[in-house]
Amino acid sequence: MRKDPIRDPIRSVIRQLEPSGITKVTALGLGNPDVLPLWFGETDLATPPFIRKAAIDALEDGKTFYTNARGILPLREAIRDFHKRTCGADIDVARITIPGAAMLAVVTALQMVCETGDNIVIVSPIWPNIFQAAKVVGAEPRLVRLDENWDTGKWTLDFDKLFDACDDRTRAMFICSPSNPTGWTLTAAEQKTILDFARERGIAIIADEVYGTLVYDCAPHAPSFLSIADDEDAVFAVNSFSKPWAMTGWRIGWLVHPRSVEPAAAAMAQCNNTGSTHFLQYGALAALSPEGDAFRGTLLERCRGGRDVVEEWIRGQNRVRWLRPEGAFYGFLQVDGLTDSLGFAQRMVTDDKVGMAPGWAFSLGDKRDDSYLRLCFAQDPAKLEQALGRLEGAIRKI
């Protein structure tokens, strides 16, 4: 019999990780055909046929080998061209790495900038995977919450709060704009203020721009940090094929990093995934074609229609309000009287057969978020209306 205590082989931060609030809800009904699922950040459209065909053709053609771990060159060049034509940013291909999904791009950026004991200042409410990933790399996630401004109808970022949260151990500010879950979108002038502060303090910016082209008033692209940063600014911009091209299941995205980080990015791509799937990269390449641009336009209009459906529904409600999203495809709805968004969202799955994400999931225990629910409106309008009807019924029971 062994007498000495067995040492836990798992790092304590990993041991303490819990499923996110979204997972705690989806666990009750994922795959149940009776449940209308608006809980994930994805449209109900499948990836368009021309993208699927490009991947199938590549597979048939034997594109089944390892590639350069940073991605095939034609795809990196097409990403460079995409940035140029959507937000006017001139990015050298040396700054582009395709590690796998955008989630892996987030992790890669965090791994590159954080040591254990550092902190990362994150604008919230925020997609929970972000603060979970910060914990995984040993950093303390410090959330700075946007403020609701019901008078102007906008979420606002208090720069004093953001900058005051940074100290000597702050290695990066994580900013998702357009935001998941609020749709809040930074202006170029605000980005400049943040970049100036980051430069002065030697703090990196991890800019999550996966919803960059899903914007309603400043198409074709929300203001991007890439348009104002130079090659050597410590800006790490995360992007994804998932959202604008309906490719969430493909797990492919990219990271734009400073020029001189290229060797480290290459090493990280080796360590983390040794590249993304060979034939899928050809599907992604097709997404960046003119046909892909046209699809993005179609999806954006579908999202705009979904946003209108939710707005119209809210007009008929007396207990629900929102700050209308400027970008992304989420409604972050505040429900009067709601104080336990997780329990409520779970009951909605089991009793009302509709899946939404609890506001609770998007912060680290900030009570203000617990009166919110997030739904994805990139959906068929009839389905969306049906889901909102079910939500209305559930709210009546509070």
Ligand X SMILES: Cc1ncc(COP(=O)(O)O)c(C=O)c1O
Question: Is residue 300 near ligand X by the rule CB under 6 A?
Answer: no
Length of the chain: 398
# binding residues, ligand X (CB under 6 A)? 14
Question: Is residue 213 near ligand X by the rule CB under 6 A?
Answer: no
**Which residue, 127 or 184, has its beta carbon nearer to ligand X?**
127
Using CB under 6 A, which of 208, 326, 369, 370 touches ligand X? Answer: 208
Question: Is residue 326 near ligand X by the rule CB under 6 A?
Answer: no
Question: Is residue 103 near ligand X by the rule CB under 6 A?
Answer: yes
- In whole angstroms, give the CA distance from residue 62 to residue 279: 8
- The window from 98-106, 193-201, 268-276, 311-319 that contacts ligand X (CB under 6 A) reads 98-106
Using CB under 6 A, which of 25, 75, 102, 280 touches ligand X? Answer: 102
| Coil vs helix vs strand at 375 | strand
Find, among 383, 363, 365, 364, the residue nearest to 374 by Cα: 363
Using CB under 6 A, which of 41, 99, 223, 325 touches ligand X? Answer: 41
Own/partner long-range contacts of 147-152 (Cβ < 8 Å, ≥24 apart): 148/323, 148/334, 149/323, 150/321, 150/323
Question: Is residue 248 near ligand X by the rule CB under 6 A?
Answer: yes
Which stretch of DSSP H or E encloses residue 334? strand 330-335
- The window from 7-15, 82-90, 96-104, 375-383 that contacts ligand X (CB under 6 A) reads 96-104
- The window from 30-38, 49-57, 102-110, 138-146 that contacts ligand X (CB under 6 A) reads 102-110
Question: Is residue 89 near ligand X by the rule CB under 6 A?
Answer: no
CA quadruple 300, 302, 308, 309: dihedral, nearest 10:
-150
Cβ atoms 253, 240 nearer than 8 A:
yes
- In whole angstroms, give the CA distance from residue 394 to residue 390: 6
If 0-12 CB within 10 Å is exposed, 13-18 middle and 19+ buried, where does residue 284 land? Answer: buried
Q: x/- binding map, residues 164-193, to ligand X, per CB under 6 A?
A: ------------x---x-------------
Q: Which residues bind ligand X (CB under 6 A)?
A: 41, 101-103, 106, 127, 176, 180, 208, 210, 240, 242, 248, 253
